[in-house]
Amino acid sequence: MSSQPIPHTDNVSLAPGGGAVRILDQSLLPGETVYLDLSAPEELYEAIASLRVRGAPAIGIFAGYALYVLSLRPGAEDFPAFLARCREDRDYLNASRPTAVNLQHMLDRTLAAAEGASSIKEARAAMQETAFAIHREDIEMCRAISEYGLSLVKDGDGVLTHCNAGPLATSKYGTGLGPLFLSRERGMTLHAWVDETRPLLQGARLTAYELQRAGVDCTLICDNMASLVMKEGKINACFVGCDRVAANGDTANKIGTSGVAILAKHYGIPFYVLGPSSTIDFTCPDGAHIPIELRDGGEIKEKFFAKPSSLPEVKCYNPAFDVTDHSLITAIVTEKGVCYPPFDESFAALFGRKED
Ligand code: MRU
């Protein structure tokens, strides 16, 4: 694995000096490019909860650095007290968002590094090493996922995307958007149809921004236009990311993803989920067991409007994710290869296990 330093201009990194996590504040994009250095527990929690850092793999990378940075706080009397505080920090950060399993996986992995040490100094060094390893592995996994994803389409194809699964949501290349960036590097032409992704507009604000800047041909549409665009024959494949994949292949991703999958099935278009194996939750049997985050209704009525779109007293229901049934998914593209149904069997063949 490469030991190149991670640039501080990445969307997530360890800030110079190593005492804070540096993030590109995604909540301000595309209008403002602002980096934040975060080190207090409440700031780190808030950054995840407010989607300043977002996208399942990026949240996982952030989690590793965040737990390490929190371990640097003075005040732990001895090693057992230090570990007890690390466990509390882990639980605190893990409560910031419930759906993306990468948060839990990477917090657990960084905590395990501390638990395997025998002194505070050794534990901090192991946690830092683990955080860097998580980051570097993600870069390599995204690259591999992008290669496998690109093998599923051909020059000239139209690809529908939902939410943002690009470099901002990961480390480099991304997952769902990775094949599009790679196609550009290879001189191929893929056309991206970008769902704006209500209510937080990750498609309009982030996916269109990343693709446009990279020179990938893209067109923004409202979410409710996807059916028409499919009917017009413009879409050859759908590429989406994932926040938690259950052992049977049911997949939680940004709200609206399951609707895209249902449309794709209707029009006979392949629907691909792309994500690293760290997003598969082998302890979760199916989608009914995936916790779905509920967010404030203000995101629907007020957030991106000059004036509220609805009366203040109107009730809102704002689930941030939905679950796409495995029967609607053509394949799940991981860093180890393309998994076709039945997913429990193809996961077992690639990952050699059914449970963690
Ligand atoms: O609420 P968000 O913006 O964090 O939701 C992100 C998504 O749904 C992404 O598609 C998913 O995390 C995969 S990112 C590679």
Q: Tell me where in the chain the CATH 1.20.120.420 domain(s) lie.
A: 12-142
**Residue 56 alpha carbon to ligand 1 centre in Å:** 6
Give me the DSSP letters along 107-149: HHHHHHHHHT-SSHHHHHHHHHHHHHHHHHHHHHHHHHHHHHH
Q: Is the CB of 253 under 6 A from ligand 1?
A: yes
The catalytically annotated residue of 10, 195, 243, 281 is 243
* CATH of 152-351 given 3.30.750.24, 3.40.50.10470, 3.40.50.150, 2.40.50.70: 3.40.50.10470
Over the chain (356 residues), what is each successive 10-residue block's mean pLDDT?
Answer: 65 96 98 97 98 98 98 96 98 98 97 98 98 97 98 98 97 95 95 98 98 97 98 98 98 98 98 96 98 98 96 97 98 98 97 65
Cβ atoms 192, 159 nearer than 8 A: yes
**Residue 290 alpha carbon to ligand 1 centre in Å:** 15
DSSP 266: H
Catalytic-residue membership of 243? yes
Cβ atoms 330, 312 nearer than 8 A: no
Give 27-36 contacts, CB < 8 A, sequence gap 24+. 27/51, 27/52, 29/168, 29/205, 29/206, 29/209, 30/205, 30/206, 30/208, 30/209, 35/8, 35/9
Q: What is the token pair recorded at 5?
A: 């330093």
Looking at ligand 1, which atom is closest to the CA of residue 59?
Answer: 4
Name 32's Cβ contacts closer than 8 Å, sequence gap at least 6. 25
Protein residue whose Cα sits closest to atom 15 of ligand 1 = 165
**Residue 230 alpha carbon to ligand 1 centre in Å:** 23
Which of 201, 202, 299, 333 to mutate for ligand 1's pocket (most ligand atoms within 8 Å of CB)? 202
Q: What is the token pair recorded at 132?
A: 């860097």
DSSP 321: E
β-partners of residue 334 are 337
Fold category of 12-142 in CATH: Four Helix Bundle (Hemerythrin (Met), subunit A) (1.20.120)
**Residue 99 alpha carbon to ligand 1 centre in Å:** 10
- On the 0-12 / 13-18 / 19+ scale of CB atoms within 10 A, 159 is buried
Q: Tell me where in the chain the CATH 3.40.50.10470 domain(s) lie.
A: 152-351
Q: What is the token pair recorded at 14?
A: 């360890």
